[in-house]
Amino acid sequence: MAAPVARPGGALAFPLSPGSLLLSRSRSAPELAAAPTGTGRRRRWLVAGVPAVAGALAASAQTPMLLRDGGATLLVTAGAYSLVRAFDALTERRLIEQNLSRKIVHVLSGVLFMSSWPLFSNSAEARFFAAVVPFLNCVRLLTYGLGFYSDEALVKSVTREGKREELLRGPLYYVIVLLIIVLVFWRDSPIGIVSLSMMSGGDGFADIIGRRFGSLKLPFNNKKSWAGSVAMFISGSLLSVLMLSYFSWLGYIHVSWDQALGKLVLVALAATVVECIPVNDVVDDNISVPLATMLVAFMLFGDAAN
Ligand SMILES: Nc1ccn([C@@H]2O[C@H](COP(=O)(O)OP(=O)(O)OP(=O)(O)O)[C@@H](O)[C@H]2O)c(=O)n1
Ligand SMILES: C/C(=C\CO)CCC[C@H](C)CCC[C@H](C)CCCC(C)C
């Protein structure tokens, strides 16, 4: 059998040599019974034993990673649940108005979810563990949105008018986008990081600032304001820089800032324009903003932030 080889994240891979292929071929019972006694028994041990030992070794090398990914999944799932509960408690006590609560949950869900990615191991399966969190939230929104069960706290913290059907629009699109980004881009590509930053931070702050200071409306959309769009551009760009620095500092991506900054400004500009053009009734911001960001980021960055 070939020696085990260390893979990124500590997993052990056992390369197949021609010999190991021959050994792992399973033989039928009559074949084994017909084998000469001494050698037959030894070969039988080899046939059954070697792959079993190899499997056990590989499994034991992966156990800490499984524990780490499983633990991280539980922790982040609990975090997501607590975030919604905490903002429900704040709205309930009238410490914060419902719409502000919804937008803070919108901003924090994306930012905290991205920030939690380094908790997961370097194994190839880690992204699937991380994807469990938005997936569970997707199931949760569908369950309550379709009225199978009721969860007033969830409805109050993430909807605009307090109607359960609203869970099936903005919040559901939002968690589906998180799910797709984590599965497709994960923490190895600037595209996912920038798209999430624009959707969570940028779009969130456009509303928070626009509603409060947005008296001067845009000439082509009287529902949106200059203040909201400027806030989206600045907060989306700043959050993108912050998150790219975080992932590059942790060694997941490499960023050449001299070139990346100019491209980031263009990506943020494209996302801001898409957010403020009057297409809201046709396509939700939680779909149009990340899609536009992904497209422009892909054209400018390719698959690396340089
Ligand atoms: N560029 C922007 C974006 C938003 N707003 C303000 O934020 C409010 C909500 O904007 P938006 O989130 O786009 O509205 P909806 O799509 O209706 O709500 P949501 O996507 O949050 O469900 C707008 O009415 C406006 O007061 C703004 O002034 N300028
Ligand atoms: C209000 C929202 C969108 C409307 O524009 C956001 C809805 C958020 C979800 C209901 C909760 C999503 C949780 C994330 C999948 C994970 C967050 C983890 C973190 C550690 C808090």
pLDDT digits (tens, 9 = 90+) for 198-252: 999 999 999 999 999 999 999 999 999 999 999 999 999 999 999 999 999 999 9
- Reported in sequence order, the residue ranges of 112-202 that DSSP labels E, i.e. its strands, are none
Pocket lining: 170 vs ligand 2, CB cutoff 6 Å: yes
pTM recorded for the entire structure: 0.82
ipTM confidence score: 0.96
Residue 94 has pLDDT above 80, yes or no: yes
Q: Output the CA–CA distances (angstroms, integers) from residue 283 to 139, 146, 195, 271, in the order listed.
A: 22, 21, 17, 14
Nearest alpha carbon, ligand 1 atom 7: 207
84 alpha carbon to ligand 1 midpoint, in Å? Answer: 21
The per-residue pLDDT for 282 is 86
Pocket lining: 166 vs ligand 1, CB cutoff 6 Å: no
Q: Which of 254, 249, 160 is nearest to 211 (CA)?
A: 160
Nearest alpha carbon, ligand 1 atom 15: 280
> What count of Cα atoms within 13 Å lies in the side-chain half-sphere of residue 74?
5
Distance CA 237, CA 242 (A): 9
Cβ-Cβ contacts under 8 Å for 28 (sequence gap 6 or more) = none
296 alpha carbon to ligand 2 midpoint, in Å? Answer: 25
Tokens for 254, please give them: 């490499």
